[in-house]
Structure formats: structure tokens, C-alpha cells
Amino acid sequence: MLLVSGIYACNSDQKAGTDNHVKQDSTAVLNTDTLNYTYDSVKVYSKQPVSANKNVTDTAKAVVKFPLFKNVAANKFVKDRVLGQTGQEQNYKTYKELAGGFIKEFDNYKAINVNSTETWFQLLNIRVVTNYPNYISMLHTYSEYKGGAHANTLFTYFNYNPKSLQTITLDSLITADGMPKLRAVAENIFRKNEQLAPNASLSEGYFFTDGIFSLAQTFTVTREGIKFLYNPDEIKNHAAGTTELIVPFSKIRDILKPSSILKNFN
């Protein structure tokens, strides 16, 4: 059993199928035939204050907010991906263990660095942005601070088919020989968005390997097309934040695979 020097709380938001605490994407779709869910959370706080000053009550915290589906398989899909993306060596099995592990790390750090006054935090927020009977997309926001100039934040889309119990990958939507065209179309759109000439270098001001355009590592499917999301530090410096790029279906219809989930958007 995991022992944590902290305070544990679990809260449930019983408003099924919606998230009133986070603004929904304009592309979000909620149908009556989709999976029902509520939002729940796990919060763990350290008992160690960050300062010896009794007037300072700040301490480390770890918070996980997640959708709780009535569908067991969907819950397992979300949990497996959240716990598998933390970059931790420990094999956490629950959200509580994950949050507790972060607080334990802070407590161990604080025991050695007694004069440190930096308030650590770990915040995970998983929200549903698209909800169809055969396609659910969730945006996982992972933010962590352990001192330094700024927190590290990572955004990842989880794309899931609750009927087939499969992860929706990009190559399940695009034909194998169509990937070069997808990248070419996406690059043209990227250059227009960034106000770059067709032959302008992508080595200056961007982090593309060898100055060659590449698709973002995370994506979701919207009514407009396939939306790619570049994380901070992925192709630009941290201060630039995220970069979004939508490739319209109208420009890539000839390379789309016959996919049941795409029928939702056409």
C-alpha cells in the first residue's frame, strides 16, 4: 500500500456528458447516443510547508481531473494512457498512486533541501472534446513544476473507438502512400499560417529536424478536418506556446481510408 505524507481528497462532478469547468472546443460534439460520463478528481497535498514562516501555508499539490465513463473499457483506456505518459519509472496503477508519488518525491526533496521555498505542483486534466458512439477524443493536459523558470506543460489527444476498443491512429485514417501528400498539404497550410514564403527556410526560428517540415505528434479529428497540435518547445521556443494546424478533409479526400469514424464528420 502506498503511504503518502499528505492529504487525499476525491471529488465528483455529477454533470454527465459536459464539462462546465473548462471551455469546450468549438468542434466538440455531444450526442444522445454517445457514452455517458461524469468528471471526477483526485487531489493530494503535502503536509510539508514550503517555508518555515508560519504565515506561509503553501505546499506541494498533485491533482488529477478525469472523465469517469459508465463504460469500463473506456475508463481503462484513459487510465492506461494517463499513467503511461508520466515519464515516471514507477509503475503506478491508480490516479491516487500517481498523485501520491509526486508528493512523496517533493517530501523527499524537501527533507534534503530544507531552505527551498519553491511550491511544486503536478496538474493533470483530461477532458472530452468530441463524443460519438464510435469516436471519443480527449485532451490530456499535463503540467508540472519542480522549480525553475516555468512549469513544463504537455498536451496530448487521446483518440479512442469505444466500439472496437481500439486507439485511433493517424495511419488508420490515411492510406500508406498518402502520408507524403498529407505532410505536403499540411506544410503549405503551416507556411500560410506562419506567413512564410514557399521556399523560406524552416531552420530559422523553428525546431524542425534538418529544417524539414514534420507533422505534430498529437492530433484529433474535427468537423473541419484533422487538427494537429504542436506542443511548447516542439517546433518553437517555449514562449510561443502551442501551435495548431487544421488540414481540411476537402484537401485530402483522395488519401482518406474508408473509416467509420470519418463518417461522423462528412
Q: Is the pLDDT of residue 106 over 80?
A: yes
Q: Is the pLDDT of residue 72 over 50?
A: yes
Averaged over 231-243, what is the pLDDT? 93
Q: pTM for the complete prediction?
A: 0.85
Kindly indicate the confidence band of residue 91, based on its pLDDT and cuts at 50, 70 and 90: confident
Q: Where are the extended beta strands (E) located within 174-241?
A: 218-221, 225-230
pLDDT tens for 25-70 read 434 444 444 689 999 999 999 998 887 777 777 899 999 999 999 9
User: What count of Cα atoms within 13 Å lies in the side-chain half-sphere of residue 209?
Assistant: 3
pLDDT tens for 127-184 read 999 999 999 999 999 999 998 888 899 999 999 999 999 999 999 999 999 999 999 9
**How far does the chain reach from its first CA to its final CA, in angstroms?**
50
Q: Where are the extended beta strands (E) located within the chain?
A: 6-13, 37-49, 59-69, 121-132, 135-145, 152-161, 166-167, 218-221, 225-230, 243-248
Structure confidence at residue 239 (pLDDT)? 87
Q: Where are the extended beta strands (E) located within 135-230?
A: 135-145, 152-161, 166-167, 218-221, 225-230
Is residue 239 classed exposed, middle or buried when 0-12, 13-18 and 19+ CB atoms within 10 A define those classes?
exposed
Work out the number of other CB atoms within 10 angstroms of the CB of residue 83: 19
Residue showing cell 472530452: 128
Domains belonging to the chain, first-starting first, are 6-167 (3.30.565.40), 170-265 (3.90.640.20)
pLDDT tens for 181-209 read 999 999 999 999 999 999 999 998 999 99
Residue showing cell 501520491: 100
Alpha-carbon distance of 106 to 94, in angstroms, equals 19
Q: Is the pLDDT of residue 17 over 90?
A: no
Residue showing cell 484529433: 220
